[in-house]
Amino acid sequence: MTDGSDAALFAGAVPRQRRAFLAGLSPQEQDAFIYHWPFWARPQQRAPDGDWSVWLIMAGRGFGKTRAGAEWVRSIAEGDGSARLALVGANYAETRTVMIEGESGLLSIAPPKQRPVWEPSLKRLTWQNGAQAYLYSAAEPEGLRGPQHSHAWCDEIGKWMNNAGQAEAAWDNLKMGLRVGFRPRMVATTTPRPVALVRALVNADGVVISRGRTQDNDLHLPAAFLTAMKADYGGTRLGRQELDGELIEELEGALWTRAMIEGCRVGAVRVERSRDTNMSATPDRSLDCARDERDWGLVRIVIGVDPPASKTGDACGIIVAGLGVNGKAYVLADCSVEKASPETWARRVADAADRFGADRVIAEANQGGAMVKSVLHAAKISLPVKLVHAARGKVARAEPVAALYENERVHHVGAFPQLEDELCELLIGGGYEGPGRSPDRADALVWALTELMLGNERVPRVR
């Protein structure tokens, strides 16, 4: 319980200390304590310091985005009777049921004696000091043309309808109406989705971004829920977006798409993970597939290796893959290591070979040639090493492997986020726009799958 909030420290105190603290409060103070947001808020839920125009809270589900937005509105309204606030949701129904009447809505978070008056027919909230907030729908952007506001809270902007440009029009009309008071400001809360409005805000000036994961709110979420979410979605694109709060964009012209990889993902019934590698399968050859009950016992296992050019350079890509009796390939593990000495990455290869019973290690020889083989044999003399030479660029070598994915002939046993990020940022026709200087994991995967699936292809030659 170290999320940075005072509530976490309070929860970590011994029961005697908590009872003594509460006993020292008067009944009025105890009532106020429940609604004292600075005590309960985590750092990412608190309004940032400094001069900003837009505060974007982009985080996973259950993080507490709605609560943070509502508490910000409450602090503005209770502190400034002249405030005129806009509350904008995807539609009127969601604005009312989530932002106003929901469990984390403005009516629920306010102390009973300070609760604003809610007039549904007028779509208006009024606080005792005269501050007012009005409801709007992002699906009807013309409703925001004309009204003036000092502050605004926009909820779940990632799901605002934009098939005819409504989302962007609503945002633009809202911003043009923020002309009341000394320092108009907006808060936008959303689960990240790669839509035009969210992408624009991420790259805009004057926008402060708070990020977070579902797991960050573990004090207030059932442990069974968190365990189930991690087991079902950990590492997948959906999990990274909806739980980890990552903005995962599709790169136009990429060889692999996120949908392609999600469609090829399968799960192993027996899962093993080492402490320092991303392994998602057992080392034996009788893996069980969660989505396909047919026998896909593995008849061959290889390890693709893309050695780094220098000791302090890129990662050493180390990918384990197997060929099933059904003729399909299965990616079993990403054992890659970053900024490692030759001895370290060679030992990682040897350990993976032992763990999975690899038949062959396929290593690119362009960087070091015989040295690569000698380093691997120094780690384990019996390693069955095959050196391969890259006559074409990484992207050109990857294209036939991407075609295997398109034809559903490759599956990922579990999730490999770093590898999948690299795959999805290799561009058709050449180029790489992903993490790191080079797609080392992706290149190792290409070597492994080429050996398993394309090694016996005959190449036409002119005699």
pLDDT value of residue 366:
67
Q: Are residues 281 and 414 in the same domain?
A: yes
pLDDT at 282 over 50: no
Does residue 309 share a domain with residue 392?
yes
Residue 7, helix vs strand vs coil: helix
Tell me the CA distances in angstroms from 170 to 254, 316, 366, 406, 458, one per residue in order: 32, 47, 54, 39, 58
Give the confidence band of 218 by pLDDT, cuts at 50, 70, 90. Answer: confident
Helix 342-356 crosses helix 370-379 at what angle (to 10 degrees)? 60
pLDDT in tens, 222-259: 999 999 988 888 887 778 888 998 887 777 778 888 88
Worst-scoring range by mean pLDDT, 51-65, 365-379, 393-407? 365-379
d(CA 311, CA 341): 5
Task: Please provide the DSSP assignment of 409-445 as one string.
Answer: -EEEES--HHHHHHHTTBBTTS-B-SSSSS-HHHHHH
Q: Looking at the structure, tell me whether residues 194 and 262 fall in a common domain.
A: no
**Number of folded domains in the chain?**
2
Whether residue 53 is found in the same domain as residue 171:
yes
Q: For residue 303, tell me if it sits in a domain.
A: yes
Q: How far apart are CA 178 and CA 14, in angstroms?
A: 48
Please report whether residue 74 resides in a domain: yes
Instruction: List the CATH number of the domain containing 283.
Output: 3.30.420.240
Per-residue pLDDT tens digits for 45-66: 999 998 899 999 999 999 999 9
Answer yes or no: are the C-beta atoms of 300 and 452 closer than 8 Å: yes
- 139 and 282 assigned to the same domain: no
Closest CA to 141 of 172, 178, 117, 118: 172
Residue 192 is assigned to a structural domain of this protein: yes
**Is 249 within the bounds of a domain?**
no
Domain identity same for 208 and 266: no
Choosing from 193, 218, 243, the residue where a domain stops is 218
Of 83-92, 239-248, 354-363, the one with minimum mean pLDDT is 239-248
Same-domain pairing of 182 and 264: no
- If asked whether residues 41 and 121 sit together in one domain, one would say yes
- pLDDT (tens digit per residue) in 128-182: 999 999 999 999 999 999 999 999 999 999 999 887 789 999 999 999 999 998 8
What was the pLDDT predicted at 460?
43
Could you tell me the residue range of the domain that residue 289 belongs to?
Answer: 258-454
pLDDT of 1 reads 43
- One domain, residues 185 and 66: yes
State whether 275 and 213 are in the same domain.
no
CATH number assigned to the domain comprising residue 54: 3.40.50.300
Identify the top-confidence range among 28-32, 188-192, 226-230.
188-192
Q: What average pLDDT does range 319-324 have in this prediction? A: 94
Provide the pLDDT confidence category of residue 117 given band limits of 50, 70 and 90.
very high
Mark which of 191, 218, 245 sits at the end of a domain: 218
Judged by average pLDDT, the poorest of 2-11, 26-35, 172-181, 202-211 is 2-11
What integer pLDDT is reported at residue 165 of this predicted model?
84
